[in-house]
């Protein structure tokens, strides 16, 4: 079909890494394209597989850091809460077009920098999106 490879997306659950969703999408497709549809299919599977009273921590990388996907995860958290269950999520930040100098200033003002080794400073900051 004139496609060089695939753009896979997968979801795993539990310490054992049980696969609950795997799709091979056309290699020409951007990795974030139609991710929301994938999550719509995976979220109910997670709910069905988790015993009542068990909490879920959803972790994903910076490719899932978009307003649309963050709102989907927040809605899923609310949906679980209505059923008396806990769904938390942790998404790696993708700075994209952020002004890095402003973030350095914020980290310095917060006293968040730690020197890992000579010449390498790291700041860990928490940002809650509501």
Residue owning tokens 């068990």: 54
Question: What is the C-alpha to C-alpha distance for residues 52 and 41, in angstroms, rounded to an integer?
Answer: 20
For 85-129, what is each residue's pLDDT tens digit? Answer: 999 999 988 888 889 899 999 999 999 999 999 999 999 888 776
26, 3 contact by CB (below 8 A): yes
pLDDT of amino acid 30:
80
pLDDT tens-digit series, residues 18-57? 999 999 988 888 878 899 999 999 999 999 999 888 999 9
Point out which residues pair with 62 in neighbouring strands.
Answer: none
Taking each helix axis from N to C end, the angle separating 35-49 and 67-82, rounded to the nearest 10 degrees, works out to: 20
Check residue 3 and give its pLDDT.
Answer: 60
Token digits of residue 73: 């995860």
Under a CB-based contact definition with an 8 Å cutoff, are residues 42 and 21 in contact? yes
Long-range Cβ contacts of 121-125 (<8 Å, 24+ apart): none
Residue 21 φ/ψ, nearest 5 degrees: -175, 130
Is residue 66 predicted with pLDDT exceeding 80? Answer: yes
pTM of the model as a whole? 0.77
- Enumerate residues 6+ apart whose C-beta is below 8 A from 14: none
Given a cut of 60, is residue 1 above it in pLDDT? Answer: no
Structure-block tokens of residue 106: 């914020």
């Amino acid at each position: 079909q004139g496609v060089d490879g695939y753009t896979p997306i997968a979801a795993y659950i539990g310490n054992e890494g049980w696969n609950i969703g795997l799709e091979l999408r056309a290699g020409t497709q951007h990795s974030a394209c139609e991710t929301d549809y994938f999550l719509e299919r995976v979220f109910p599977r997670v709910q069905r597989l988790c015993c009542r009273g068990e909490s879920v921590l959803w972790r994903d990388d910076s490719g899932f850091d978009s307003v649309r996907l963050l709102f989907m995860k927040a809605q899923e958290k609310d949906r679980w809460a209505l059923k008396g269950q806990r769904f938390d999520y942790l998404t790696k930040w993708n700075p994209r077009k952020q002004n890095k100098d402003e973030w350095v200033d914020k980290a310095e003002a917060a006293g968040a920098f730690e020197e890992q080794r000579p010449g390498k400073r790291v700041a860990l900051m928490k940002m809650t999106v509501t």
